Amino acid sequence: MEPRISIITIATDDLDRAVRFYEGMGLTRHAGITEGVAFFQTGGAILGLFPRQSAEEDSGVTFGKAPSAVYLAYNTRSDAEVDAVLAMAERAGGRIVKPAGRAFWGGWYGYFADADGHIWEVAHNPAFPIAEDGSISLPG
Amino acid sequence: MEPRISIITIATDDLDRAVRFYEGMGLTRHAGITEGVAFFQTGGAILGLFPRQSAEEDSGVTFGKAPSAVYLAYNTRSDAEVDAVLAMAERAGGRIVKPAGRAFWGGWYGYFADADGHIWEVAHNPAFPIAEDGSISLPG
């Protein structure tokens, strides 16, 4: 297995609501494939929104409830950007789960829940550098 | 929000077991930060393994049970690689959830569960090109 993750899919309880949320976060839905699914190009990976029923039919799996124990993080380039992303999540129909504050590791961070109740951490961690193309790296 | 996902974290019920699983999948644990957490560089994003209790204390969230409704996909460059990755997952301590088969969209794919029971799809989808660096793209 090469060290990469291709697609992060959210088995959503309401596809239209989830699309509105992620569009409200500034992501652009892929215009080509829209039948019962939504895709967003996110750097070298893809974010997918797929109705829970479709995902369960396809996989044969009954997925657990939100908030999912697999959760996502958006790392920012500044403390102020953390505040801005959390505010944007609230405006887009999400919920602030933990308001921004100082981390024991020195950064500035908080958490929001998306429209389905799945969790995103939003963090400014200067120890994990972000390249111009948005790639993040562990310390060398 | 720039279109990117920085970190995908699994709030694991057994950190050592989860590390063994992902190392068994061929990923290399980051040697620098190992105290109560494990990180893996995966392309331009990071895979994190964090004990459920730590994740819940940090976020104030009680995470749902596996299999998580946020699930991951590893896209391959060939059908044969799908079979190989699924076999590797079984050897590493995972479980085949859906054996490889032909997809209605023309590809070859299956699903496994990791050591915690979280789901990965493994798919060869020629319509989603994979660059040499592992980045995947939606059709243009």
Does residue A49 carry a pLDDT above 90? yes
The pLDDT value recorded for residue A18 is 98
Determine the average pLDDT of the residues in B7-21.
Answer: 98
Q: Are B72 and A70 a contacting pair at CB < 8 A?
A: yes
User: pLDDT class for A92, splitting at 50, 70, 90?
Assistant: very high
Tokens at B51, concatenated: 């004990």
Give the mean pLDDT of B39-47.
97
Residue A78 has pLDDT above 90, yes or no: yes
Average pLDDT on B33-39 reads 97
Residue A140 scores a pLDDT above 90: no
Nearest CA in chain A to B28: A3
The answer for residues whose C-beta is within 8 angstroms of residue B111's C-beta and 6 or more apart is A59, A60, A61, B96, B97, B98, B119, B120, B121, B122
Once rounded to an integer, what is the mean pLDDT over residues B42-71?
98
What b-and-e string marks burial along A47-74, b requiring 16 or more CB atoms within 10 Å of the CB? Answer: bbbbbbeebeebbebebbebbbbbbbbb
CA distance A91 to chain B (A): 13
**pLDDT tier for residue A42 given thresholds of 50, 70 and 90:** very high
Residue A65, pLDDT > 90, answer: yes
Say whether pLDDT at B126 is over 90. Answer: yes
Q: Is A87 on the interface with B (CB under 8 A)?
A: no
Query: What is the least distance, in Å, from the CA of A105 to any CA of chain B?
Result: 12
**Residue numbers in B near A49 (CB within 8 A):** none
Given an 8 Å threshold on Cβ–Cβ distance, is A116 in contact with B69? yes
Q: Which residue has the tokens 């939003």?
A: A122
Which domains, from first to last, does chain A contain? 1-55 (3.10.180.10), 70-135 (3.10.180.10)
Determine contact: A70 vs chain B, CB below 8 A: yes
Q: Which residue of A has its CA nearest to B49?
A: A70
Residue of A nearest to B12 (CA): A69
* Interface residue B118 vs chain A (CB under 8 A): yes
What is the complex's ipTM, to 2 decimals? 0.97
Please state the pTM of the whole predicted model.
Answer: 0.97
Q: Does residue B113 contact residue B119 with C-beta atoms inside 8 Å? A: yes
CB B117 within 8 A of CB B71: no
Q: Is the minimum CB–CB distance between B80 and chain A shorter than 8 Å?
A: no
Sign of CA dihedral A121, A124, A129, A131: positive
Q: What is the pLDDT of residues A100-126, one digit of tens each?
A: 999 999 999 999 999 999 999 999 999
Tell me: pLDDT of B140 over 90.
no
